[in-house]
Structure 1
Amino acid sequence: MQYKGRIYALAIVILFNILRYYYEKYFDVPTDFNYLILGPIFLLIPWWAGRQYDLAKFYSEIDPLTNTYNRRIVKEHFQRLENKVKKENGQIGIVMIDINNFKGYNDTYGHDIGDQLLIEFASLLKQHASKHDLVARWGGDEFLLIVPNITEHFKSTYIAGLHDEFKKVQFSEFTTIKASVGIATYPNDGETLETLINMADTEMYNSKRTMKNNLLENALTY
């Protein structure tokens, strides 16, 4: 969560008091120093109000279950990144990941355990992502990652790295977890977010149907 709301609120109060000081000095108005005694209160109130703004903004951008970003932020982030990439002649990777047979986990273990799987899976994706990547819950058990500054062999290397990370993790309550992956790159595979997502989504579901290629598998024994 950022501090913009609190910083702006405090800045306004401090600026107001600076202007008040110079106003009284310029017009030779007697200075009432009682307001200095109440200074901490004058600062706490805007700090609290700014915090409410920061909280509201935070929860408007974040999926409350997995603590990843939501769809609105994906679109805003891609637009900003697209403008930057065009100037640098770079590329962007769009990665779609879906947990296979998630409905079966919900039916077998219950929705609370299904939610826990989503939380742990999202945590894995955030751990694997770099600080410049964006991880979002696209809907249900489907996640989307936006990866800037990708290399020529991004598709193969990214999936291989994610697969290695996936095998190391032990998900609670489950013995085997599988997930399908689809990847599209900007601008090679398309120049709009919608086109890229559709392409990555199609590749992901093709791998799900064939149960091969771009499939993450986590097999554990207890």
Structure 2
Amino acid sequence: MGYRGRVVAVCVVILFNILRYGYYHIYLGYLFDRSFFVLTGIFLLVAWTGGRQYDVAKFYSEKDPLTNAYNRRTIDKVFKKQIYQYRSRGKKMGVVLIDLDEFKDINDTFGHQTGDELLRCVAELIMNIAKKEDYVVRWGGDEFVHVILDLKEDTLSDYVRNLRGKLCNLDMEVVQTVSASIGIAVYPDDGETFEALIQKADTSMYEMKKA
């Protein structure tokens, strides 16, 4: 969760109090009173609390509350912004669709609490692999999407191999190994819209499932 709301609110209060001090004590010539600091402290506390509410609301509007990955609505906005830069610069972007195999059986065997823990572990694993500027999205149910920005040539095969290896050695007490079907698509080779890239990745993933 970011601090933007709190930082902005506190900065506004500080600016307001600088103006308040200048107006009353410099311009009007009122004697300085210690209550100035008391009121400033109260204003800062209110600003911090209000700013935190904004940060919490923004966090849950962008993130999946279970896994801390981004949600689908956020990635739609992000992709539309990124696409303008990538068109002009000739860069590539990778879209990796990850679907956990036999997740329903895990839920039925070990319970939904274990299933939720597995989703959190997998999301954290993907985020640890991802670069700082990438986006990891909970696409729905047991599916995740990793949007790899500024994709380099011939890195996706290494990525898939690395991800599979880490899933096979998952650090969970009950579920110690997980497999996943993985589909990939590359912008602009496989499409110029996010919908087209997801469709291509989805087709690639189901071909892997059949195989």
- TM-score higher than 0.5 here? yes
TM-score, scaled to structure 1: 0.87
Q: Which runs of 4+ in 1 moved over 4 A?
A: none
Deviation at 1:27, TM superposition (A): 4.5
Amino acid at match of 2:88: K
Deviation at 1:26, TM superposition (A): 6.4
Amino acid at match of 1:128: I
The SS at the match of 1:38 is helix
Deviation at 1:36, TM superposition (A): 2.4
Q: Which moved more, 1:143-152 or 1:80-89?
A: 80-89
Root-mean-square deviation (Å) = 1.8
The SS at the match of 2:30 is coil
Deviation at 1:39, TM superposition (A): 2.0
Alpha-carbon separation, structure 2, partners of 1:175 and 1:38: 56
Match of 1:145 in 2: 146
Match of 1:8 in 2: 8
CA contact (8 A) 2:96 2:201 kept: yes
Amino acid at match of 1:24: Y
Amino acid at match of 2:18: I
Alpha-carbon separation, structure 2, partners of 1:66 and 1:209: 28
Match of 1:118 in 2: 119
Listed one character per residue, the Cα deviations across residues 163-192 of structure 1 (whole Å, up to 9, x for unaligned) are 233333333312542100000011111000
Match of 1:101 in 2: 102
Unaligned runs of 5+ in 1: 211-222
Deviation at 1:52, TM superposition (A): 1.0
1:70 lines up with 2:53 in the alignment: no
1:191 lines up with 2:192 in the alignment: yes
| Paired residues for 1:150-161 under 5 Å | 150-161=151-162
CA contact (8 A) 1:128 1:165 kept: no
Deviation at 1:21, TM superposition (A): 2.6
Deviation at 1:128, TM superposition (A): 1.4
What percentage of residue pairs aligned between the two structures are identical?
45
The SS at the match of 1:138 is strand
Amino acid at match of 1:37: V
TM-score, scaled to structure 2: 0.91
Count of equivalent residues: 210
Alpha-carbon separation, structure 2, partners of 1:184 and 1:158: 13
CA contact (8 A) 2:164 2:179 kept: no
Deviation at 1:50, TM superposition (A): 0.5
